[in-house]
Amino acid sequence: MAKKLNGTVIVTYRCNARCTMCSRYKAPSIPEEELSLETIKKLPPMYFTNITGGEPFIRTDLKDIVRELNKISDRIVISTNGFFTDRIIDLCKEFPNIGIRISIEGLEQTNNEIRGLPDGFNRGYTTLKKLREMGMKDVGFGMTVQDKNAPDLIPLYELSNKMDMEFATASLHNSFYFVEARNIIHDRPMVAENFEKLINELLNSNSPKKWFRAYFNHGLINYIYGQKRLLPCDMSFDTFFIDPYGDVMPCNGTKDKEVMGNLNTQSWDEVWNSEAAEKVRYKVRHCERQCWMIGSVSPAMRKRIWKPTWWVIRHKAKFWTKKKYSMYELPIVRDYRDGKVTKEELDACSTCDMKACVNNGLSAASNAQLRSRTGEEIVAEDLARQTAADGQAVNR
């Protein structure tokens, strides 16, 4: 039997949020061009499937998509901004075993400033609470840590504990997917100190899953200091992303879109075994971007489980002798503290490029619609049409 893969399905590039660290909302896809059920049916068996966007719940046929993916996936997690509460609840009634991760970027004020969604925190929080009340088990927060919200890291973690929910972290990345090249952490020690506190909380818990999360967050400190990944990146070997146009890609971290093939026009085997796919794999092996996102780290941790396990054992042992994890275990953090490396040198190790012209990865038709209207206007009109259609259906 063929090996199951880890896949991320980007069902749309439309988004109703206005995140400061992601400009995807300015570059939406055209609904008619977005992944069809016919294309989704061609995907291979997966041990893990992440459904993401844009905002996936903007698609009114998301239920049909999940129904298809459910046939070929052992586990599905949907990443969402949590705004469309009714749609999320409705979908979860049919699929109580899927996971839902709602992006919350801090406590109320910080979250709303970063995500730019009207009453975004309360809507996300209410959705999470309703999902819990329904008995959904795999529910949690996702937070992208940056200068502005790092002080909210521990309060948000505590809130997730109180609600008995998963707490996933990330940090700023630049790529065509985020339509960003200027994301950068400015006050690295401050952000790292907040990660350090979180790591100690996680290590101090009784949950092995949280101990491994501690390792992931240790890797995030390493990442924001611009260092080589703690584990090699194996994207495109047993992991893939597929974008709204059916293009199969290794990941969402590359500067420009890298394409292994197109599932609208090819079969899965043709894409996966193509010369283009081999070229992409060669690029991945030589990639210098050093991303540390759960999508590329989780498969790497699975593959080299002994490495995070050894880290966990060493740090749990430290706890028994009353010592704690310290961010200064990382040589680069010590070097920066001791003035052996400058902020400018660390900035140069990041993927931030203030002069870059960002390629948004859109099709020619999606880009063309941006000539007369902004992405925000296009999505707002689209949502207004959806609301009008819902009203008509109710009145019928």
Q: Spell out, one character per residue from 291 to 330, where the chain touches ligand SF4: x when CB under 6 A holds, - when not.
A: x----x----------------------------------
The dihedral over CA atoms of 362, 21, 7, 221, expressed in degrees to the nearest 10, equals 140
The distance of closest approach from Cβ of residue 59 to ligand SF4 in the complex, given in angstroms and rounded to an integer, is 25
Taking the C-alpha atoms of residue 289 and residue 350, their distance in angstroms, rounded to an integer, is: 8
The distance of closest approach from Cβ of residue 171 to ligand SF4 in the complex, given in angstroms and rounded to an integer, is 13
| Window 123-152: residues binding ligand SF4 (CB under 6 A) | none
Q: Which is nearer to ligand SF4, 22 or 128 (CB)?
A: 22
> Per the structure block, which two tokens stand in for 225?
């200091």
Using CB under 6 A as the binding rule, whether residue 254 contacts ligand SF4 is answered as yes
Using CB under 6 A as the binding rule, whether residue 249 contacts ligand SF4 is answered as no
Q: What is the DSSP letter of 291?
A: -
Taking the C-alpha atoms of residue 356 and residue 317, their distance in angstroms, rounded to an integer, is: 46
Binding span for ligand SF4 by CB under 6 A among 3-11, 15-23, 76-84, 286-294: 286-294
Taking the C-alpha atoms of residue 369 and residue 361, their distance in angstroms, rounded to an integer, is: 14
Q: What is the DSSP letter of 175?
A: B
Q: Which is nearer to ligand SF4, 198 or 251 (CB)?
A: 251
- Distance (Å) of CA 181 to CA 27, 222, 253, 309, 348: 15, 20, 11, 34, 13
Using CB under 6 A as the binding rule, whether residue 224 contacts ligand SF4 is answered as no
Give me the helices (H) in 100-207, please. 108-115, 120-133, 153-162, 188-204
Task: Please tell me whether the peptide bond between 375 and the residue prior to it is cis, using omega within 30 degrees of 0.
Answer: no
Q: Which of 19, 287, 333, 358 binds ligand SF4 (CB under 6 A)?
A: 287
Q: What is the DSSP letter of 57?
A: G
Q: Which of 140, 289, 311, 341 binds ligand SF4 (CB under 6 A)?
A: 289
The distance of closest approach from Cβ of residue 204 to ligand SF4 in the complex, given in angstroms and rounded to an integer, is 30
Binding span for ligand SF4 by CB under 6 A among 70-78, 140-148, 218-226, 248-256: 248-256
From the CA atom positions of the chain, what is the Rg in Å?
A: 21
Q: Which of 106, 120, 253, 261 binds ligand SF4 (CB under 6 A)?
A: 253
User: Cβ(170)–Cβ(295) under 8 Å?
Assistant: no
Q: Which of 250, 261, 361, 375 binds ligand SF4 (CB under 6 A)?
A: 250
Residues that bind ligand SF4 (CB under 6 A): 233, 235, 250-251, 253-254, 284, 287, 289-291, 296
